[in-house]
């Protein structure tokens, strides 16, 4: 039992999950929240909606390939997209630190505008709070989003079956490493952009191509390892991935070696993992790969019946090791 | 032109409005956001929805009559309610400072649960981020909410007409003063609770009682003065209120005198102002007054055609003075 909140509780891994289940669900859980999916689903007036929220506390606010404003739009759009919804409307709540330059705030707001237009959503409500110097860090943004489901797919992990295939829509860890490099603490000269992007069209293409999509997750905090562990756990299956098949940029691999971390745990902000039925593999692979945001799509593993809840990696050297859930927080405030 | 963000930008008054219009609307404005109403309205599948967001940074986290968790539910519920919507679902994003006691976090989460049940809403999605010590202040919460419109009323300020009457649903400034007293900086022994409460049933009763309701606003940051100025401005009318009719607790008046502030600018979190057609006054007054949260309802003023955009106070001494929009931030971090 942790007596105080630690950075690990915000890392998106084991400690986060424990806090959510043992504290938040305990105190205000309900059937719509309980699946702990990317977005919650509900029905009104015969339509099916997805509703989600994320707060963004990324440091630094501006990094190669994006900034907190763009992240705040794309991140919430992506939680709706992987729920199978078309994102419609966002809210944006700003918590600004006293003394923050209005020019920087405008730059962030402009990014929100640009990203919203690119993703086809409107920010229809906002809020502005200011906290004293030393009680914030420039600006924190919360976005919440609502979308409407356009497809019939049941994308809950419970529909995942042994024999299903695992695809990732592109290179792993780009966002997390780009932010770490931008922080300047690594003595690293790496030319790498965050992959922040809205996944709506990628998902729409995939779901239109085949009815065999079982489950989708955007790869954010905790990376592919955490997403797969959550799916394996919820579906009572194991998942085996193949190290040789994982698309990882050499710059990301290099930075991870220096940082002493595993790229499997590093965040993206414009990638997803898809679990698809074996008979849907070809259609899914070509749908993802033909989308501009999916050109590096790879088939990286498959679902097994044994060892329920476990994730394994077949290494390049012919071994097999357990890929555990993320413990601790190797990369704080990455999103 | 302000070069940096100041506490006044978070006070809900003139500086906040300027920042929203000159910066946020400029960069990502759109027709649904532009009215700057308590909640944005949109239609999907033949139903009409309200969508809103607020972040809560109140200090201290726990105060007489409530805490940040209860506030975060009721505040967002109330922005939906005064839009004429029945609140259905909320999201809750927590930004926790490293080192925050988990026991306090549980207390806050329990309040969220209790308030949600009391207001008849479900928190269906959440998010948990942790920032380093000194980059937050215990916990900040964003809640966003979605509701469905059940009434035919057009509650935009544009429908306000000269001759309309102004009602407030109870005593002014309770929340703001309760929080200031809890902060302990006043050498004040005042026994006063925040009025935080969900206004859904109060509004539903009012809107069911008469078609003559023109406009509603919950009284939060900036108090009655700010709400009336915004309405007068949007409706191109003036509003005259009568000091003698204003319901204000003696404790609130006393504390305001010590603080050197005007109770007209102090926040509530469980009160609203209603502008109603003259022929609807009796029905509105009795509908509000018969609801448990409206027992101190008073008719406090009326709408005039001259002096567009201005608000006036007829003082107890027979004079008339201008009630301007809030400038500066007399009570920072009240919600
Ligand atoms: N404080 C909280 N209270 C209630 N539910 C929460 C809370 N924090 C997270 N959740 C829920 O837990 C699940 C996982 O949340 P998480 O934030 O890890 O997902 P995500 O948004 O997909 O990831 P990321 O935040 O890294 O983008 C979601 O269903 C979310 O609604
Ligand atoms: N940063 C922002 N970006 C875009 N719109 C904003 C922003 N902040 C506020 N708004 C919009 O401005 C209007 C007024 O916001 P404000 O927060 O003052 O209202 P409120 O929530 O009713 O009051 P309070 O926050 O005191 O409860 C709302 O329509 C809101 O959507
Ligand atoms: Mg997600
Ligand atoms: Mg997310
Ligand atoms: Mg607000
Ligand atoms: Mg309001
Ligand atoms: Mg509000
Ligand atoms: Mg999240």
Global ipTM = 0.98
Whether A1 has a pLDDT exceeding 80, the answer reads no
Percent of chain A with pLDDT over 90: 93
**A293 shares a domain with A184:** yes
Q: What is the pLDDT of residues A154-163, one digit of tens each?
A: 999 999 999 9
Confidence bin at A216 (pLDDT 50/70/90): very high
Residue B45 lies in a domain: yes
**A168 shares a domain with A113:** no
Q: Name every chain A residue with its beta carbon within 8 A of the beta carbon of B55.
A: 93-95, 127, 129, 142
Whether A122 has a pLDDT exceeding 90, the answer reads yes
A28 CB within 8 Å of a chain B CB:
yes
Confidence bin at B152 (pLDDT 50/70/90): confident
Q: What is the mean pLDDT of residues A251-265?
A: 94
**B171 shares a domain with B98:** no
Q: Name every chain A residue with its beta carbon within 8 A of the beta carbon of B137.
A: 131, 135
Per-residue confidence (pLDDT) for residue B188, from 0 to 100: 74
Per-residue confidence (pLDDT) for residue B184, from 0 to 100: 85
Whether B329 has a pLDDT exceeding 90, the answer reads no
3-state secondary structure of A240: strand
Chain centre distance of CA B45: 30
- Look up residue A165 and give its two tokens: 């295939």
Which CATH number fits the domain that encloses residue A201?
A: 3.90.650.10
**B138 shares a domain with B200:** no
Please work out whether the CB of residue A188 comes within 6 Å of at least one atom of ligand 1. no
**B281 shares a domain with B261:** yes
Residue A331 lies in a domain: no
Residues whose CB is less than 8 angstroms from the CB of residue B52 and which lie 6 or more positions away in sequence, other chains included: A91, A125, B38, B39, B40, B76, B79, B80, B83, B144, B145
- Look up residue B157 and give its two tokens: 């300020």
Whether B185 has a pLDDT exceeding 80, the answer reads no
Residue B238 lies in a domain: yes
- Look up residue A244 and give its two tokens: 């040789």
**In the sheet where B40-44 sits, what is the strand order?**
B40-44, B47-56, B139-149, B85-97, B122-131
Q: What is the mean pLDDT of residues A229-248?
A: 98
Q: What is the mean pLDDT of residues B124-130?
A: 98
Is there a contact between B129 and A10 if contact means CB atoms under 8 Å apart? yes
End position of a domain, from candidates B149, B174, B207: B149
Strands A139-149 and A213-218, bridge-based pairing: unpaired
> How many other C-beta atoms can be found within 10 angstroms of the C-beta atom of residue B224?
29
**B205 shares a domain with B91:** no
Per-residue confidence (pLDDT) for residue B305, from 0 to 100: 97
Whether A188 has a pLDDT exceeding 80, the answer reads no
**A205 shares a domain with A189:** yes
Are the CB atoms for A58 and A143 separated by under 8 Å? no
Q: Which of B107, B267, B75, B70 is nearest to B180 (CA)?
A: B267
**A170 shares a domain with A40:** no
Residue A271 lies in a domain: yes
A295 CB within 8 Å of a chain B CB:
no
Please work out whether the CB of residue B221 comes within 6 Å of at least one atom of ligand 2. yes
Q: What is the mean pLDDT of residues B72-76?
A: 99
Which CATH number fits the domain that encloses residue A90?
A: 3.30.1330.10
Q: What is the mean pLDDT of residues B211-234?
A: 97
Give the domain range for residue B222. 157-322
Confidence bin at B328 (pLDDT 50/70/90): confident
- For atom 30 of ligand 2, the residue with the nearest CA is A126
Residue B87 lies in a domain: yes
Question: What is the 8-class DSSP label of residue B20?
Answer: I
B104 CB within 8 Å of a chain A CB:
no
**A280 shares a domain with A312:** yes
Residue A327 lies in a domain: no
Whether A9 has a pLDDT exceeding 90, the answer reads yes
Q: What is the pLDDT of residues B274-326, one digit of tens each?
A: 999 999 999 999 999 999 999 999 999 999 999 999 999 999 899 999 999 98
Per-residue confidence (pLDDT) for residue B228, from 0 to 100: 98
CA distance A197 to A261: 24
Q: What is the pLDDT of residues A291-316, one digit of tens each?
A: 999 999 999 999 999 999 999 999 98
**A215 shares a domain with A106:** no
CA distance A1 to B298: 51
Whether A187 has a pLDDT exceeding 80, the answer reads no
Residue B279 lies in a domain: yes
Percent of chain A with pLDDT over 70: 100
Q: What is the pLDDT of residues A50-102, one digit of tens each?
A: 999 999 999 999 999 999 999 999 999 999 999 999 999 999 999 999 999 99
**A145 shares a domain with A161:** no
End position of a domain, from candidates B94, B128, B149: B149
Q: What is the pLDDT of residues A42-59, one digit of tens each?
A: 999 999 999 999 999 999
Chain centre distance of CA A53: 12
Please work out whether the CB of residue B20 comes within 6 Å of at least one atom of ligand 2. yes
- For atom 26 of ligand 1, the residue with the nearest CA is A221
End position of a domain, from candidates B129, B149, B169: B149
Please work out whether the CB of residue A79 comes within 6 Å of at least one atom of ligand 1. yes
Which chain B residue has its CA at the smallest distance from A144's CA?
A: B144
Which of A263-277, A315-329, B206-220 bottoms out in mean pLDDT, i.e. has the lowest?
A315-329
3-state secondary structure of B153: coil
CA of B38 to the centre of ligand 7 (A): 6
Looking at the 3D structure of chain B, how many domains does it have?
2
Residue B194 lies in a domain: yes
**A196 shares a domain with A124:** no
User: Among residues 62-91 of chain A, which lie with CB inside 8 Å of chain B?
Assistant: 88-89, 91
């Amino acid at each position: 039992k942790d007596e105080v909140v630690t950075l690990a509780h915000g890392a998106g891994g084991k400690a986060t999950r424990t806090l959510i289940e043992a504290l938040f669900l305990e105190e205000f859980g309900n059937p719509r929240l309980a699946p702990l999916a990317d977005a919650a689903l509900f029905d009104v007036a015969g339509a099916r909606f997805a509703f989600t929220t994320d707060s963004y506390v990324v440091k630094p606010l501006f990094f190669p390939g994006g900034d907190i404003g763009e992240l705040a739009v794309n991140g919430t759009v992506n939680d709706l997209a992987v729920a199978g919804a078309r994102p419609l409307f966002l809210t944006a709540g700003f918590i600004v630190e006293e003394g923050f330059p209005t020019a920087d705030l405008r730059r962030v707001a402009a990014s929100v505008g640009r990203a919203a237009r690119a993703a086809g959503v409107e920010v229809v409500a906002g809020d502005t709070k200011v906290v004293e110097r030393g009680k914030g860090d420039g600006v924190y943004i919360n976005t919440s989003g609502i979308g409407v489901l356009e497809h019939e797919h049941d994308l809950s992990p419970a529909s995942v079956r042994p024999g299903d295939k695992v695809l990732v829509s592109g290179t792993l860890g780009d966002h997390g490493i780009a932010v770490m490099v931008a922080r300047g603490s690594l003595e690293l000269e790496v030319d790498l952009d965050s992959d922040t992007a809205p996944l709506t069209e990628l998902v729409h293409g995939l779901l239109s191509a085949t009815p065999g999509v079982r489950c989708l997750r955007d790869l954010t905090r905790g990376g592919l390892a955490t997403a797969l562990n959550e799916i394996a756990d919820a579906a009572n299956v194991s998942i085996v991935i193949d190290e040789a098949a994982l698309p990882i940029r050499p710059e990301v691999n290099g930075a991870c070696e220096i940082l002493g971390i595993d790229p499997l745990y590093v965040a993206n902000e414009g990638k997803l993992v898809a679990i698809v039925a074996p008979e849907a593999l070809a259609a899914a692979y070509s749908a993802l790969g033909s989308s501009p945001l999916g050109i590096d799509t790879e088939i990286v593993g498959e679902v097994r019946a044994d060892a329920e809840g476990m994730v394994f990696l077949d290494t390049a050297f012919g071994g097999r090791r357990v890929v555990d859930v993320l413990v601790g927080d190797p990369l704080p405030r990455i999103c």
